[in-house]
Amino acid sequence: MKNYKMILAYDGGRYNGWQKQGNTENTIQEKLEKLLAILSGTAVEVMGSGRTDAGTHAKGQVANFHMDWDGTEEELMAEINSHLPEDIAVLFLEEVANRFHSRLSAKGKIYEYTIWNSPVPPVFDRKYTFWVSEELDVEQMKLAANAFIGTHDFKSFCANKRMKKSTVRTIYSIDIHREGAKVVLSFYGDGFLYQMVRILVGTIIEVAEGKKEVSQLEDILQAQKREVAGFTAPAKGLCLKEVYYAE
């Protein structure tokens, strides 16, 4: 049985996240597994590099699955895309070694969060940005972001209060830049906890708005309590941009 790796893009606006759930079939994983089961004639498990939240988008989600297929990689990719809904697409597909696992083999990820910072609401970008009408101090945002770079226990920035596994993660860089009305935050790290990026964004916004001080951020990290960090920014502004693997 062959092991296939694929890179996916999807608009997560109408889905309940990546991971299949017992109470709904409206997830990205469920859509893919149902389609591949039809193509292969047997059940197929699709493993994703991570579980994007309900409403979160992806430009570079990576997944893999094991399946018997007699045609070429290009033919399989075309067959999958011809049956997927218009808000999900396979961008790339190839056969890989059996040991490859999209989540366990991943070495790093980049998530982007986009804020629409203008008194005027984002009519055409409303589904992919978080509207903040009050002008944000981008330089203050950059100072706040610096406090999170490095290896830290990010328990204060995890929405899963029952998390039993390690909440230590490494953030390699946080790039923040303005493109007109858009303020884009790019997080590159070895992995991220449940809603971690969205809580980091909310905290950075609160610093930019003067509701928190940069000097408080170290104490927030040390507290290891979700209640002391900032609000959770909406899912629609978040996008999984890229997943990195060892050569």
Q: Is 185 exposed, middle or buried (0-12, 13-18, 19+ CB in 10 A)?
A: buried
Q: Are 61 and 10 in contact (CB under 8 A)?
A: yes
Residue 113 Rama label (left phi>0; alpha psi -120 to 50; beta)? beta
Q: Which helix (H) or strand (E) holds 95?
A: strand 88-96
Q: Are 170 and 150 in contact (CB under 8 A)?
A: yes
Q: Please state, in angstroms and rounded to a whole number, the distance separating the CA atoms of residues 241 and 111.
A: 5
Active site residues: 53
Q: Which helix (H) or strand (E) holds 178?
A: strand 168-179
Residue labelled with tokens 């990026």: 197
Q: Please state, in angstroms and rounded to a whole number, the distance separating the CA atoms of residues 214 and 141.
A: 9
Q: Please state, in angstroms and rounded to a whole number, the distance separating the CA atoms of residues 200 and 161.
A: 16
